[in-house]
């Protein structure tokens, strides 16, 4: 038995050496943080995200506690956002804001967090493309609004603040329109109490939104259908006082729709 083991041992060692020699060497092993970041940026610019992420992860480890490490986190969140990994991007940004609450880049992190949910392909702007309206869609829009709100309150002079304010207005108007859309649905089916509830919710939550003109119309019509004439007349007076020039036009989409300022 010992003789057999003696013959097998060299073969096993040789196989192990071959396996070890086949392990790919980390070509970035001796790179400086600046070199790592430069290479990562080149891959990002070329949209080679799969190659960029490992470089950014290495940079975070090697440059821990530095501005470059913070930048690596933000770039990773940006890649995840552009690659459609919404949950991952949010998690990366939340981690950044938790670890670096006073960072000079915190305003950008909040701005990017708002953009992640400000996506017409999934969430807010699919609300009116289907009859299947979901609470998930509202939640994404509200989370986007909250991130932009934190940005403009904490960093009112940030270069991202003007665009964030535009997007907040647009989101509020879209959410108000959503509530009115549901109220209109209930009214069309004779569910007047439900229609009143959703119209009142829009008026309470989204003051000054253009959609509130129709919300007040729905209130007026619903109260009339229920024979509640005093409340009907009150709704009419509020509508006429609030919108003396008639139904307002909804605002256009923000001009910098997909632009991310860096």
Q: Return d(Cα 140, Cα 125) in angstroms, integer.
A: 10
pLDDT at 107: 96
Q: Return d(Cα 13, Cα 19) in angstroms, integer.
A: 10
Global confidence as pTM: 0.74
pLDDT at 137: 66
179 burial level (CB within 10 Å; 0-12, 13-18, 19+) = buried
DSSP conformation class of 253: P
Q: What share of the chain is helix, strand, coil (3-state, %, to 5)?
A: 70, 0, 30
pLDDT at 24: 64
| CA 203, 208, 211, 214 torsion-angle sign | positive
DSSP conformation class of 30: T
pLDDT along the chain (262 residues), means of 10: 52 52 68 90 91 90 89 94 91 95 94 86 46 58 93 96 92 88 94 96 88 94 96 94 80 49 40
Structure-derived torsion over alpha carbons of residues 61, 39, 109, 120, reported in degrees to the nearest 10: -130
Cβ pair 198, 179 in contact under 8 A: yes
Q: Return d(Cα 48, Cα 162) in angstroms, integer.
A: 31
**Which domains does the chain possess?**
30-103 (1.25.40.10), 104-262 (1.25.40.10)
């Amino acid at each position: 038995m010992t003789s057999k083991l003696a013959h097998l041992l060299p073969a096993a060692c040789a196989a192990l050496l071959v396996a070890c020699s086949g392990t790919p060497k980390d070509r970035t092993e001796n790179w400086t943080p600046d070199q790592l970041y430069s290479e990562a940026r080149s891959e990002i610019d070329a949209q080679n995200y799969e190659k960029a992420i490992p470089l950014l992860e290495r940079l975070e480890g090697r440059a821990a506690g530095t501005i470059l490490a913070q930048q690596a986190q933000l770039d990773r969140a940006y890649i995840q956002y552009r690659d459609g990994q919404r949950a991952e991007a949010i998690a990366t940004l939340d981690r950044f804001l938790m670890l670096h609450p006073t960072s000079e880049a915190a305003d950008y992190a909040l701005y990017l967090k708002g953009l992640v949910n400000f996506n017409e392909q999934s969430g807010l702007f699919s609300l009116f493309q289907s009859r299947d309206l979901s609470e998930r869609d509202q939640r994404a829009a509200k989370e986007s609004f909250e991130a932009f709100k934190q940005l403009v309150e904490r960093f009112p002079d940030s270069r991202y603040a003007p665009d964030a304010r535009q997007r907040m207005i647009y989101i509020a108007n879209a959410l108000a329109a959503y509530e009115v859309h549901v109220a209109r649905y209930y009214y069309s089916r004779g569910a007047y109490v439900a229609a009143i509830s959703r119209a009142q919710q829009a008026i309470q939550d989204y003051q000054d939104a253009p959609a509130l003109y129709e919300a007040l119309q729905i209130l007026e019509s619903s109260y009339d259908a229920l024979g509640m004439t005093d409340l009907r007349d009150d709704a009419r007076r509020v509508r006429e006082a609030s919108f003396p020039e008639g139904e307002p036009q909804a605002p256009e989409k923000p001009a910098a729709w997909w632009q991310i300022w860096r």
